[in-house]
Homo-oligomer: A and B are copies of this chain.
Amino acid sequence: MSQKEPQIIRNKQEMRNWSRSMRAQNKTIGLVPTMGYLHQGHLSLITEAQKHTQLTVVSIYINPGQFTINEDLSTYPSDFQGDINKLKSLPNGVDVVFNPQNLYDYGVETGELGVGNEGGVVCCLEGAGHETWVRVEKLEKGMCGKSRPVFFRGVATVVAKLFNIVEPDVAVFGKKDYQQWRVIRRMVRDLDFAVKVIGSELKREEDGLAMSSRNVHLSQQEREQALSISRALFEAKSAAKKGNSNCSKLRRSVIESIEAAGGKIDYVEIVDQESLETVEEIKDGVVVCVAAWFGKVRLIDNIEIDAS
């Protein structure tokens, strides 16, 4: 229990000034970007960041750029004071919480549709005047990119913005959002960002459910049913380790388990850990990725299976 109060910064320029003054003192800075409503998974990212740098910035910002108007931006959970209390409870606390009001407000009026038309899909920044998007063209396409058409361009763009504002040495992302983590790593490589990106292992509740801010929306019954995801993933890994290397069969069995529990599959894919391309036979490192709906809640989860 540190009870260390983080400094709360809401202004971009003030944030950058803080980082530059710290760098001038030869301090290294770790960034953990979040959308708030923090849980143990987020806290583990912060603990990971603190292994690599002297100072830690946690950003709390629900990014409208990664939601379409049909997605759950308006109901995304939020509890700023609760988040601050959780951050204070960390052994080392954190140094700064960057909590901007609106990262897309450039102080200009734009009456018209500014952005967001992605093949007819309109994102939540409609009319904001923002028009620059970072596209990681291959990795953004499959899996979550299919059902969430503006998601990865929105994530890559806001992370590019955060990197340019916070100027961290290290940034930590959770491997729960596996595709997101790969997209960010590729972006950093391709755009030569001077940021080391670290992937932190997925955290589970004791019963196996992957930690997620969205879990709070699950009813008791849905939560029970949702355990089928992690169970199916563990079974797939175990089967693979026993020599069942046929991905088509493994995939079918994951789908059946989740559907039997009452889940509605968005996708189940077995892909290469690096390229995220579909694999037929388990050889090198693969990852089994799942997205499924329980009631109105869309959950994602994954498990890595390394070459044995």
Complex Cα spacing A130 to B161, Å: 20
Q: Please pick, from B114, B115, B135, B139, the residue contacting A133 in the complex, using a CB distance under 8 A.
A: B135
Chain A residue total in the interface (Cβ 8 A):
33
Whether B132 lies near A164 (C-beta < 8 A) is no
Which of chain B's residues have a CB closer than 8 A to the CB of A161?
190-192
Q: What copy number does this chain have within its complex?
A: 2
Whether A157 lies near B191 (C-beta < 8 A) is yes
Interface residues of chain A: helix, strand, loop or mixed (majority): mixed
Complex Cα spacing A190 to B16, Å: 16
Which of chain B's residues have a CB closer than 8 A to the CB of A134?
132-135, 191
Which of chain B's residues have a CB closer than 8 A to the CB of A24?
24
Which of chain B's residues have a CB closer than 8 A to the CB of A12?
192
Q: Name which of A132, A133, A187, A189 has the most chain B CB atoms within 10 A of its CB.
A: A132
Q: Please pick, from B131, B165, B191, the residue contacting A132 in the complex, using a CB distance under 8 A.
A: B191
**Whole-angstrom distance between the Cβ of A190 and the nearest chain B Cβ:** 3
Whether A131 lies near B186 (C-beta < 8 A) is yes
Q: Does A267 contact B (CB under 8 A)?
A: no
Whether A130 lies near B164 (C-beta < 8 A) is no
